[in-house]
Amino acid sequence: MTAAITDYFPLRQGRAHEVCGAGAYGFACALAGQLGGNVMWIREDWQPELLNPEGFLPFFDPRKLLFAKGESQIDVLASGEEALRSGAVNLTVMELSKPIGLTEGRRLQLAAEAGKSTGLCIISEGMGSNAAESRWRCAPIFDPADSTLIRWEIIKNKSGTLTRWDLRWDAETRRITVVSKAGQRPAPAHARG
């Protein structure tokens, strides 16, 4: 594994990216924490799941979070475009329930470029759009000694290689730490849990 995570994360600014998998929310939160600044989180209003700001606390300050509910995916995309274009927020997270076409994907890219901010679409597996700058698959993995271990995998990348890392989130410094491959991994001094 030669590629350093710092080359890929935080994600390239002025672009829209995609993330899928069970750890997608954690990925979005980690990104929000790394980018700093305000975050706009947009989803459709029928989504029954609640975001829990208390759970965001280890990642970023919930005061920086604005949360918008659109009636349909069109609303979500349109609001996301506004947010990206305005440049008032550093990160715009959109939860998408349906695949988006090339046109929508390209519009997001243009808006992100205009506002110099980062866009992130949370999608279901296998639903990605070709216009995305990169696509990540994130999943929590079990580790006998650590309960924050996650696997981040780039499954599409327009400007780089596909790689994967096992990482850990450090809540105190609010940053990610790459964990070396299983087997060579030293056990953390104090097992969190």
Contacting residues toward another protein, per CB under 8 A: 22-23, 25-26, 29-30, 38, 40, 45, 48-59, 61-71, 75, 78-79, 82-83, 86-89, 139-142, 144, 147-148, 150-151, 169, 193
Q: C-beta of 163: minimal distance to another protein in Å? A: 19
User: Quick one: 11 or 150, whose CB is closer to another protein?
Assistant: 150
Tokens of 127: 């639903």
The sign of the dihedral angle between the CA atoms of 104, 109, 111, 117 is: positive
Q: C-beta of 88: minimal distance to another protein in Å? A: 4
Give the pairing type, strands 16-20 and 118-122: parallel
Q: C-beta of 73: minimal distance to another protein in Å? A: 12
Sole residue written with tokens 């590629």: 3
User: Quick one: 144 or 186, whose CB is closer to another protein?
Assistant: 144
Q: C-beta of 10: minimal distance to another protein in Å? A: 17
Element (DSSP H or E) covering residue 111: helix 102-115
Dihedrals phi, psi of 42, to nearest 5 degrees: -120, 135
Give the pairing type, strands 65-70 and 118-122: unpaired
User: Quick one: 22 or 102, whose CB is closer to another protein?
Assistant: 22
The torsion defined by the Cα of 174, 27, 101 and 128, in degrees rounded to 10, comes to: 140
Q: C-beta of 149: minimal distance to another protein in Å? A: 9
Other CB atoms within 10 Å distance of the CB of residue 68: 17
Other CB atoms within 10 Å distance of the CB of residue 112: 27
User: Quick one: 89 or 132, whose CB is closer to another protein?
Assistant: 89
Tokens of 4: 């350093």
User: Quick one: 48 or 126, whose CB is closer to another protein?
Assistant: 48
